[in-house]
Amino acid sequence: MNTMFDDDTVGKGPIRSEQYLTDEAGTGHVIGREAELHAIRDAIQPLTKRETPANILVYGPPGNGKTTCVNTVFDALESKTRVKTIRINCWQYRTRPALLTEILIQLGYPAPRKGKPVDERLGKLREWLDRNRSVAVALDEFDQLEDNTEILYDLHMLSQQTENKLGLVLLSNLPPEEFVLDERSWSRLNCEMIEFEPYTVDELQDILEDRVEQAFLPGTVDPEVIERIAEDAADSGGDCREAFARLLRVGRRASRDGAEEVTPEYLGGVEG
Ligand SMILES: Nc1ncnc2c1ncn2[C@@H]1O[C@H](COP(=O)(O)OP(=O)(O)OP(=O)(O)O)[C@@H](O)[C@H]1O
Ligand SMILES: [Mg+2]
C-alpha cells in the first residue's frame, strides 16, 4: 500500500493540461456560434447609447454554449463600453429579495440588513441607474427563480423610468412556453428569443479539435477518437461539457497505460 500514488507515469503521457477539459471558463474563445453572439450583441447594443435594449431569453439544451456566449458578449461590454455587467446564477439567489440584494452588491453597495423591504432595494437600484451607467443583467438558470414574474416586472418597469437603462438577458434550458410566466408577461417584457440549437457533429468536432490542441501534446490524439466523441455527443443533445469529460477520461486511460497516443481502443462504449 505504501506505493500508493507513487505511480511514475503521473505527469507523463499525452495530456498537457487537463484544465482545458475541466474548467468552465474554457479557453476564453468561442468556436462558431457567430449568429448567436451577434444576436445577443445586437439586442444589448442600445445600452451603449443609453437607449432601451431588447430583453432576451437565451435557451437551449445543456452544454451548448449559452453561458459561454453571454459571458463573451458581457466581457466585451465591460472592456469596450461604459455598460456595467451583472452576472447572477439563479440557483444561488432564488427569491426576489435575494436577487435584488445580489444586484446591489455587484453594483458596489454594502450588503443591506436582512428584512429591508423590496421597495427600498428597488429604490437604491433606481438611484444607481439615474446617477451612473447603463447595466446589463444576466440571469443564468433563470427557470430556478421563484417569483420570476414579479422580478422581471420590477426590473423592466424600473428601467422605463430611469436615466440609464437596464437590459435583461435570461438564460435557461427551457423554451419560453415551458415557463410559468404567462403570455402577457412575455409580451410586456418585449422579450426576444434566441434559441441555441444542439451542436451538430461538425460543430462539436471543431470545438473538440480546438480543446485537444490546448489540452494534449501535439499529434497525440487520433482523429478518429475526436470524431467518435463528437458523433456520440451530437446523438445525445450536443453537450460539450460531456464531450470534454469523455475526452479527459479517455486521455487519462491512455496515460495510465503509459501510451503515447490516445487511440480508439481507449474509447470504451458511449459512456466511456
Ligand atoms: N462554441 C464553443 N466554443 C468553445 N467552447 C465551448 C463552446 N460551447 C461550449 N463550450 C464549452 O462547453 C462548456 C459548456 O458550455 P456552457 O457552460 O456555455 O453551456 P450552457 O449552454 O450554458 O449549458 P447549461 O445549460 O448546462 O448551463 C464550457 O466549458 C464551454 O467553455
Ligand atoms: Mg449555462
Does residue 164 share a domain with residue 152? yes
pLDDT of residue 37: 98
Contacts of residues 158-163 at CB distance under 8 Å and 24 or more positions apart, as own/partner, are 158/122, 158/125, 158/126, 158/129, 159/52, 159/129, 160/52, 161/126, 162/126, 162/129, 162/130, 163/50, 163/129, 163/130, 163/131
Does residue 219 share a domain with residue 90? no
What is the domain extent for residue 86?
34-195
Does residue 219 share a domain with residue 186? no
Q: What angle do CA 232, 235, 236 make, to 5 degrees?
A: 90
* 8 Å CB contact between 88 and 99: yes
Does residue 183 share a domain with residue 59? yes
Cα distance between residue 85 and residue 212, in whole Å: 31
The closest residue, in CA terms, to atom 10 on ligand 1 is 65
Cα distance between residue 207 and residue 2, in whole Å: 41
Q: Cell numbers for 249, please give them.
A: 477520461
Does residue 238 share a domain with residue 168? no
Q: Which of 160, 195, 230 is the last residue of a domain?
A: 195
pTM: 0.93
Does residue 254 share a domain with residue 151? no
Q: Which of 173, 195, 217 is the last residue of a domain?
A: 195
Domain presence at residue 259: yes
Binding site membership of 68 for ligand 1 (Cβ less than 6 Å)? yes
Ligand positioned closest to the Cα atom of 26:
1
Does residue 160 share a domain with residue 134? yes
Binding site membership of 129 for ligand 1 (Cβ less than 6 Å)? no
Q: What is the mean pLDDT of each run of 10 residues along the chain (272 residues)?
A: 62 87 81 97 97 94 97 96 97 93 95 82 96 97 87 90 96 86 72 96 97 96 98 97 96 95 89 69
Does residue 141 share a domain with residue 256? no
Indicate the SS3 state at residue 137.
strand
Domains in the chain: how many in total?
2
